[in-house]
Chain A
């Protein structure tokens, strides 16, 4: 992965930059010792590492603004960071950048049930937002599998999704307002606690902008009343095609499950060995969860079963109680762990039209043979968001590169059939150089124009999202304006 050369002039004035940052932050909030900055050298895409110049951990919006103003004056790049769980290298530093971590900003600022919102500092973890309202039977809907660790900050930057998004939408559909600090230190309020932000939808473009438009310090999130209950059903098929057709029929029939999860044979076998969830040995498994009161669950499950039976499943297993429900989810929830147990893996997240599922799964199978690398598929089938896990051995020379080439081919396939490179993990550095497969130069220019407006010096989260060749002109113009 090509990254720009570190700016020698910035490296040379490290001491001065650190001094200025220390002057506006409390003791202990500036990390500059080389051994300690290593803690920030990567996110969950661990194949790429680079310790930053320094890392800062501000506690207030004002401190964030001070830090950014100083970095702006000094021409120093800033990489915003939440919990560092990005799978796309979104929080990967450069040697000449300052990491701005919001982990210390984790307070709940306001909870309003009548008006159905919560306002939090963005360093708060996803799960602890629900944790703050759960005792009163409310929840925050977007639920990435990393929800125990990941922060709302990263969720907003990546527009993260989760298993329940089929019914409740992703982050952007549940975000009402943010406090954003621009690179020059200007603090802007976008949206609020009301249901549509006024003017052109700047909030909408900030969500999913991967930390390149500003640092989000506070967020107003929509909270919902918890459903009365939920139950999953497990359905096994002897082919991916049939399972795919079943998904499509369920959606068409007007049933809106909260989740439709899909696992293919390699994934079923690996998780079975690992978690012993008692899954049937078949080609494709669906786990479908519905919500409501017992009578409502029964009604929806009856419709799902009727459709599922039409496709001749090899197994259809219902959960009669919480225990059985947990067993059905057990394998799915340990899928990533199971994969990690047998091998190194790379997790992709291209999205395809649901109708293309069978074709794409077949093609991935063929490519897997061509590349000689195994793939396991486990994903959110209801919305076509695939998660092919390519297994490889990181210690064997050349395997990472082979794996990346295979991954790129899968993502190109997703684009070819009418889908996209990433459904919820973001572009980061990982998919940066594939962007031109999905977008024309003019498409990319239009996106970069937004960055020109929010961050004219191009200092925020450098070298991500846009191919370096495409952003060259913008970065050069920014430097020239200095």
Chain B
């Protein structure tokens, strides 16, 4: 891999499974050759894998030990209509974090303990490691999570994994408006009952509770008592997969992912002719639309800038639209500076993050 990057004479497009619809300009550099779990210690809750390892292979290995990736990475294939096998490198490069983000340390970046990557000059660089606590030097691990390969080609990642909960139930509230749903989710998330998922789609608002059997029963009871007409759904895995994968928006032309303060969710989408799904208690808004969306794209990014947060175009009918929210000038200067350091020739994944 290092040689391939060092020897490159033009732009490189890093490709893991190719399922996230983000192939850059240039010669395709596949990570598939770097595959396999290099270390898995269930007793230490750590797993190290090469970047091209299929997510499915990692999940199967974890499943065999009753463990999981706590950050529930989204599978983009449904909503994007893409094919291929998602890789762990792709998950990390895009910091793909699912519904459990509302729980402590629930993002992909929070579970990422270490990385090895090849920078734009072909040098192999390591940062972090495989232990839970590590403040040795600057945290380039965080910098790589969500850099979409613009700061280097990931070759190996080390992850904190989690035990699978013994039990999981979901409280379902029917027929709430968007505003009432945010308020209900906020009540759930500010209760002492450790909600590990808070989403709203269609007519349903979902609050998930996980843990040991007895504890889950107790908390589900307490939480239901806080709401009128709450129903307890015993097996909601399918619903949560829909939330995670945003599969309900497979038929739309454009899908945005907006990160904001939950209390601003309503303002973010008010008056727009769009379909909306909320995750993270309203802190993550999925917006979907059909047809020509250029105007809508501008509106959403303006609102995000004004209300606090950012809007990213995940599925686009028009490749010319900039996917990522423009950053304020001083932040953009830092970002450009970092990119120029890690990729001085300006060849890695051009055009994805602008």
Contacts and interface: CB of A to CB of B under 8 A. Distances in A.
Contacts of B164: 254
A353 to B, nearest CB: 5
A173 interface: yes
Interface in A405-464: 418-427, 431, 435, 438-440, 442-444, 446-447, 449-454
Interface in A28-86: none
Contact of A355 (B43, B97, B125): B43
Of the candidates B133, B215, B324, B337, the one having the most CB atoms from chain A within 10 angstroms of its own CB is: B133
Interface in A206-235: 207-209, 224-228
Contact of A168 (B104, B109, B140): B104
A252 interface: yes
Interface stretch (A5-13, A265-273, A288-296, A340-348): A288-296
B125 A442 contact: yes
B133 A424 contact: yes
A453 B338 contact: yes
Contact of B263 (A115, A209, A226, A419): A115
A453 B145 contact: no
A193 B338 CA distance: 24
Given A198-B310, A296-B218, A114 B190 contact: yes
The winner among B131, B194, B218, B261 for most chain A CB atoms within 10 A is: B131
A188 B334 contact: yes
A207 B143 CA distance: 11
Interface string B335-353: 1011101100000000001
Contact of B142 (A137, A172, A249): A172
A208 B309 contact: no
Interface in A237-262: 248-249, 251-254, 256
Interface in A395-409: none
B293 interface: no
B134 A423 contact: yes
B283 A227 contact: no
A421 B134 CA distance: 8
A447 to B, nearest CB: 4
A194 interface: yes
Given A225-B190, A252-B42, A353 B131 contact: yes
Contact of A425 (B109, B135, B191, B192): B135
A447 B192 contact: no
Contacts of A203: 142
A189 interface: yes
B190 A194 contact: no
Contacts of B325: 198-199
B136 A420 contact: yes
A418 B331 contact: no
Interface string B281-315: 00110000000000000000000000011101000
B264 to A, nearest CB: 9
Contacts of B7: none
Given A195-B259, A199-B353, A355 B41 contact: yes
Nearest to A137: B192
B328 interface: yes
B214 A438 contact: no
B166 A384 contact: no
Contact of B331 (A172, A190, A195): A190
Contact of A446 (B119, B129, B222): B119
B31 to A, nearest CB: 19
A354 B45 CA distance: 9
Interface string B143-175: 101110011000000000001111000000000
Given A114-B186, A355-B44, A446-B127, A201 B109 contact: yes
A307 to B, nearest CB: 12
A200 B104 contact: no
For chain A, give the interface size range: 35 or more
B189 to A, nearest CB: 7
B252 to A, nearest CB: 22
Contacts of B262: 114-115
Interface in A363-421: 380, 383-385, 418-421
How big is chain B's contact interface, by range? 35 or more
Contacts of B342: 446, 449
A196 B94 CA distance: 12
A141 to B, nearest CB: 7
Contacts of A421: 136
Contacts of A444: 137
Contact of A453 (B131, B150, B219, B341): B341
Contacts of B213: 299
A165 interface: yes
A449 B341 CA distance: 6
Nearest to B283: A195
Contact of B105 (A169, A251, A300, A426): A169
Interface string A319-360: 000000000000000000000000000000001111100000
A161 interface: yes
B66 interface: yes
Contact of B334 (A193, A418, A442, A453): A453
A204 B142 contact: yes
A170 interface: yes
A276 interface: no
Nearest to B147: A200
A236 interface: no
22 contacts: A112-B261, A159-B139, A167-B104, A169-B104, A195-B101, A195-B102, A198-B312, A198-B324, A204-B141, A207-B139, A252-B42, A254-B166, A256-B163, A295-B215, A351-B134, A355-B44, A418-B130, A422-B135, A438-B129, A438-B137, A439-B126, A449-B338
Interface of A: 112-117, 137-138, 141, 158-159, 161, 165-170, 172-174, 182, 186-190, 192-196, 198-205, 207-209, 224-228, 248-249, 251-254, 256, 292-293, 295-296, 299-300, 303, 351-355, 380, 383-385, 418-427, 431, 435, 438-440, 442-444, 446-447, 449-454, 465-466
